[in-house]
Amino acid sequence: MKSLAKAFFTPLALSASLMASMPASAHSHGHEGHSDELNTEMKKMGFNFKRSGSAKTIEDMQSYVTEFRAHAKNARETGYTDAPEAFRKGIDQLLTGLAGVQAALDKQDLDLAKRRMKKLNDIRKKYHREFDV
């Protein structure tokens, strides 16, 4: 059993140590302005955006919006090195739009919250085109 574990974990450990020793840019996802941290935050934003579309309750929607907002703020802090001002402007537009989603949730209007959340996709598309991502 030990040899099986060793055979499995040794390559894994070597791979992990190799990745850790490489500069972040060497194993990034092809976008120079993206750090791995920013990429993770953006993926989590996308995940919660998608989940919000299928929310069945105010509570579920609130959870997705709260998570989305937290990851958007983290992304804003992380920044995009190639165009920091434009990136910050886009994130700020998302956060402003989220305030409208939150207002709908505060009124217990799930349909309005979903419609407002869906409009945020236009902002996402605009900036993803601008940054070619």
Give the residue extent of every domain in the chain.
Answer: 36-130
Output the pTM of the full model: 0.70
Mean pLDDT of 78-98: 90
Establish how many alpha carbons lie within 13 A of residue 24's alpha carbon, considering only the half-sphere containing its beta carbon.
9
- Alpha-carbon gap, residue 94 to 108, rounded angstroms: 21
Q: Terminal CA-to-CA distance of the chain, rounded, Å?
A: 45
11-15, 31-35, 48-52, range with the lowest pLDDT: 11-15
Q: How many CB atoms lie within 10 A of CB 34?
A: 21
63-75 pLDDT, tens per residue?
999 999 999 999 9
Record: fold of 36-130 = Four Helix Bundle (Hemerythrin (Met), subunit A) (1.20.120)
| Amino acid code (one letter) for 40 | T
- Alpha-carbon gap, residue 102 to 106, rounded angstroms: 6
Residue 22 reports pLDDT greater than 70: no
